[in-house]
Amino acid sequence: MLRETEARDRTAFIELLASPEVHTYLGGPRPRDALERELPDVPERWPGSFAVDLDGAMIGQILLRRPARHRPAVVGKVDLGYLFLPRAWGFGYAAEACAAALGWFDHVLPGEPVVLATQTANLGSMRLAAKLGFTEVERFHAWDAEQWLGTRSPVTPSS
């Protein structure tokens, strides 16, 4: 289930952001002690930010946002991002949650394209992008690794 973040999610956010496994392809984890000091009581709360809830506990986060700075192919488009706790990997939760978030987005902003960037070495994320209907726009080198940028054609409202 997708829902707004709540104060009870703070511990899961710290776990997500401090996890070496989660951040293998994202530049590395943040120090847990810094997160404990800096993270607000209710993290990441705005339209397009969702906690992924399984049986009453947060297992991941989905973000749909317009990045302030990015590659020229992304300017003005919404970027899909996601993080899941390692214990939730391999069960299809990411595909289900991302599809639900994209469905929400298509309802709120019909006709808007969505982009997704990931390292080509992140095979799970590459498979997820394909499953969600993203197609390659470009590959580029950043953060000492080859990156993949895909786009999802906008869903147009039916007449």
pLDDT in tens, 66-102: 876 666 777 778 999 999 999 999 999 999 999 999 9
Lowest mean pLDDT of 55-64, 66-75, 108-117, 147-156, name the range.
66-75
Query: Residue 127: is its pLDDT beyond 50?
Result: yes
CA 152, chain centre distance (Å): 14
* Torsion sign over Cα 4, 70, 133, 128: negative
Q: What is the largest CA-CA distance in the chain?
A: 53
User: What confidence category does residue 159 fall into, taking pLDDT thresholds of 50, 70 and 90?
Assistant: very low
Pairing verdict, β 49-54 and 114-119: unpaired
User: What confidence category does residue 139 fall into, taking pLDDT thresholds of 50, 70 and 90?
Assistant: very high
* Closest of 47, 62, 42, 45 to residue 1, by C-alpha: 62
Cα separation, 84 vs 108, whole angstroms: 24
Query: What integer is the mean pLDDT of 106-120?
Result: 92
